[in-house]
Amino acid sequence: MLVYKDTQKLLGVSASEESEGHSLKPLDSLSLSIRGSVRSLNAEQNGRRSPMKSGSIGNIAVPSPSPSRLSFSRASSPGPQAPAPPNYLWLALLSCFCPSFPLNLFALYYSHTSRSLQQVGDDDGARRLGKLARLLSIIAILVGVAVLLYIIIGEANGIF
């Protein structure tokens, strides 16, 4: 059997104990020095909570969440919530049935972007893009109705 004297010296086990079948145990002074260094770490932090518990080796305590930390979840505010700004998605979808090709697509795009900004929390940007989506949707519907009326009236009068 190979005998590593350096390892035995660090662990505090003599060669006679190992040959007798005793299990390897660390020295009590080694574990006490580690615990003492943990306590000194606690004392050096001037009242701040240490991430390690005093007297335990290798245990890390989970710090309590503070309100100043960044969180990806929505925080509930104690005051009354303002109503969400309208994004006029239904109006933009309705305008897609009218033959005013680029206007209805722009209305749909701005309505979707307004909805995305509202979900992120940018209410001013959502309100601004919602109004733009409403304007483009109304214009697209009016242009589409005008095109349809022109086609219907032109067919009735024999222009086409």
Residue boundaries of the structural domains of the chain: 5-44, 89-157
Q: What is residue 122's predicted lDDT score, i.e. its pLDDT?
A: 93
Query: Do 31 and 10 contact (CB within 8 A), yes or no?
Result: no
Q: What is residue 32's predicted lDDT score, i.e. its pLDDT?
A: 46
Q: How far apart are the first and last CA of the chain?
A: 105
Question: Phi first, then psi: what are they for 52, rounded to 5°?
Answer: -110, 140
Query: Do 94 and 72 contact (CB within 8 A), yes or no?
Result: no
Nearest C-alpha neighbor of 57 from the set 86, 31, 80: 31
Q: What is residue 134's predicted lDDT score, i.e. its pLDDT?
A: 97
Strand positions, DSSP E, the chain: none
State how far the Cα of 12 lies from the Cα of 24, in Å rounded to an integer. 9
Q: What is residue 30's predicted lDDT score, i.e. its pLDDT?
A: 47
User: How many Å separate Cα 46 from the centre of its chain?
Assistant: 33
Compute how many other C-beta atoms are within 10 angstroms of the C-beta atom of residue 11. 15
Q: What is residue 153's predicted lDDT score, i.e. its pLDDT?
A: 92
Residues written for the chain = 160
pLDDT per residue rounded down to tens, the chain (160 residues): 566 667 666 666 555 555 555 555 544 444 444 444 445 555 555 555 555 545 555 556 555 555 555 556 565 556 678 888 999 999 999 999 999 989 999 999 999 999 999 999 999 999 999 999 999 999 999 999 999 999 999 888 887 6
Q: Which residues contact 35 (CB under 8 A, 6 or more apart)?
A: 54, 55, 57
